[in-house]
Amino acid sequence: MILAVLLLTVLCVFLLLRIYALERNLRQGASQLKNRKAEGSAAPLRLAAPNPAAEELMAQVNGLLREMEDQRSDFRNREQALRRQIANVSHDLRTPLTSILGYLQLLEKEELSPEERREYLSTIESRARVLQGLITSFYDLSRLEAGEYPILREKVDLREVLGELLAAYYDELEAHFDVTVDLPEDLPQVWGDRAAMTRVYSNLLRNAMEHGSGTLSISAWSGNGEVSVRVSNGGAELTDEDLPHVFDRFYTTDKTRSGRNTGLGLAIVKALAYQMEGRAEAELTGDQFSIILYWKA
């Protein structure tokens, strides 16, 4: 009987100690969690004494803390990116608007000759078209990223699309580049949207004319159920560090944003290619910058 009482007493003491240790761990964990919240910290919680059940609980709490920190970090990054984008949009819209307002003020001068007046009006029209293009690009990119840009899936003749664009830009391209074109006559048709593909290659040609010089080459080949088209231009002022970001919206190597580049053209190229189940890649070899687009045949 006495032995049973002693054993029961020892068991009670053991259980009380376990309960005390568990309570101590929980209180310490609660205190640490309160401090983490006050400090805005996601540092893991620590136990005062080993306890399997409490350790499992703390592991789950620490997992939640890590997830919250990741979400907080992602939110901060998104907020910073949004602020940069708003600043860039404001700058890109303000530049042509400022120019338009400046030339409108010049037109108020009574001593202007008819030639000067025509020149100023022509400049105002040009800046207004730039502004219109910017607004259209902003709108199109937002629709693409929201999945609201209409895409018609059909068979498209890339040789025809590229031929029409090269003819349309012939004078400008000849003024900028030594142009070479290699489009095989037996190039298969590809799946996509003709209007969207025209927009893709129009953006690439405009990007080349704005930032390239020397040579422009367009080549195509087929294989493995795909048709690949490479558009390359010389005179690229890019570095290997720039290359992974060329498809980022608003990205520009002009850090002062003193030029006309909005960083939207290539972002739209990649987004449109993705919508048509294609893909876009960029390469840099010396001063030769290339965009390769892959389409399903």
The residues that bridge with 217 in the sheet, in sequence order, are 180, 232
The per-residue pLDDT for 64 is: 73
The per-residue pLDDT for 256 is: 40
The per-residue pLDDT for 220 is: 93
For the cut 70, the answer to whether the pLDDT of residue 269 exceeds it is: yes
Give the pLDDT band (50/70/90) at residue 41. Answer: low
For the cut 50, the answer to whether the pLDDT of residue 182 exceeds it is: yes
Q: In terms of Cα–Cα distance, which of 161, 130, 146, 141 is closest to 227? A: 161
Encode pLDDT of 56-97 as tens digits: 766 777 777 778 777 878 778 777 766 766 666 676 677 788
Give the pLDDT band (50/70/90) at residue 260. Answer: very low
Whole-number mean pLDDT of the chain?
Answer: 79
For the cut 90, the answer to whether the pLDDT of residue 36 exceeds it is: no
For the cut 60, the answer to whether the pLDDT of residue 228 exceeds it is: yes
Query: DSSP characters for 65-99?
Result: HHHHHHHHHHHHHHHHHHHHHHHHHHHHHHHHHHH
Would strands 279-285 and 288-296 be described as parallel, antiparallel, or unpaired?
antiparallel
pTM summary value: 0.60
